[in-house]
Amino acid sequence: MSKVYVAGIGATKIDEHWEKGIRDLMVEAALNAIKDAGIEKKEIEAIFVGNMSSGYLQGQEHLGSLLATWLGIPGVAANKVEAACASGGAAVHNAFLAVKSGVYDCVLVVGVEKLTDAITSDATDALIMAEDQEYVAFTGASFVALNAFVYKAYMKKYQAKQEDIALFAVHDHKYAANNPLAQYPKPITLEEVLKSPMVADPVRLLESAPLGDGSAALVLCSEKKLKELQNGDVLVELAGSSLSTEIFSVHDRTDLTSIGATVKASRKAFQMAGVEPKNVNVVEVHDAFTVLGVIHLEDLGFAERGSGWKLLKEGQLEKDGKIPTNTMGGLKARGHPVGATGVYQVYDVVTQLRGEAGKNQVDGAEVGLTQNVGGVGGTVAVNILKRVR
């Protein structure tokens, strides 16, 4: 089996892109990644698009083949991968398998979501489709409401305080302020978070990932292809990639304070990459809501159960802390264009491993991990990246 390398990365700024359609976003990100890889478009053999709701929101479902046409490379193998908010991470995983297996030497992964300016429906209606609609639709619950159950369960079980958990939003905004692609590049205070409007008790507006549009892209290549591209630049390997599922619905789970899919996917990815949590220098967790960031750190093995918030409070998630986390702004402040998020996370970690993160740079970062969650944990994708030169 071949090793898999990230030869190029590209992305758009995340924003409410009223002036750009889904096509503009995808093509911009893809061309940036192709240019960064130093390849010709015609060298791409397969495309994997991560997206959750283009069919529902834009009335446009067939994104893989469409992108091939838009890029002027019809004939390639084209796929759309859907795993709700983990669509991007799942697309990376599928592309990883395609190169690892030796079937393809050069593939393009594009994550995209356009939540604002929807043509056919509303973003909140689209997002709740990531739950089991036969059981949830009639309750009228939104995605924020379901995560409010998780928040309450965590605080009750571990006697944790909201002011400690809400610090995740302050942390993310601090780093987003130095990220030119971030949707909310501005610092916020804990007081502002705790006084922001209540969305679903206890989740406040400034503890929620925003609605936004964006696209990120990667070019993955095999060892064989890499020899053609040798240019002496920093090189990043996608060394481990895993996807796992959990009992789907919140109402069927006995414990809301952990996501089994994160535990399973991360253990497998760690094994594949030959690393342990203590070797990881930079982490991107799927903090769609502040409490989730805390839970993910525990499930990934970076903190003991019930103590993820302590790492945050002690400053251990800072760029010079024990486990630098969400150092480009995380979902809360870089933004969460649903099906694109898992690809943005890899983009952010590669930026760190290449030493290109500017003021947010983690000194000497060599190993990075991304964790991307679909639904309320129904699917989790974990990708582990290593700087190899």
Where along the sequence are the contacts to ligand ACO (CB under 6 A)?
85, 124, 127, 143-144, 184, 199, 205-206, 208-211, 288, 336, 373, 375
- Residue 227 in contact with residue 250, Cβ under 8 Å? no
Output 41 or 152, the one with its CB closest to ligand ACO: 152
CB of 109 to ligand ACO, least distance (A): 19
- Residue 6 in contact with residue 346, Cβ under 8 Å? yes
Q: Indicate the pairing of strand 214-222 with strand 203-204.
A: unpaired
Nearest alpha carbon to residue 97 among 215, 243, 268: 243
Q: Of the listed 17, 93, 296, 336, which one is catalytic?
A: 336
CA dihedral over 69, 72, 77, 81, signed as positive or negative: negative
CB of 183 to ligand ACO, least distance (A): 8
Output 193 or 220, the one with its CB closest to ligand ACO: 193
User: What is the four-CA torsion angle of 10, 11, 12, 16, rounded to 10 degrees?
Assistant: 170
CB of 254 to ligand ACO, least distance (A): 20
Catalytic site residue 85?
yes
Output 5 or 143, the one with its CB closest to ligand ACO: 143
Rounded CA separation 240/321 (Å)? 24
Output 143 or 151, the one with its CB closest to ligand ACO: 143
Residue 330 to residues 219, 244, 345: CA-CA distances in angstroms? Answer: 22, 22, 8
CB of 346 to ligand ACO, least distance (A): 16
Instruction: Tell me how far the alpha carbon of residue 275 is from its chain's centroid.
Output: 21
CA angle 371, 377, 381 (to 5 degrees): 30
Angle between helices 290-299 and 143-158 (to 10 degrees): 60
Nearest alpha carbon to residue 335 among 186, 205, 198, 176: 176
Output 253 or 386, the one with its CB closest to ligand ACO: 253
CB of 288 to ligand ACO, least distance (A): 3
Q: Of the listed 17, 62, 85, 93, which one is catalytic?
A: 85
Catalytic site residue 221?
no
> Known catalytic residues?
85, 336
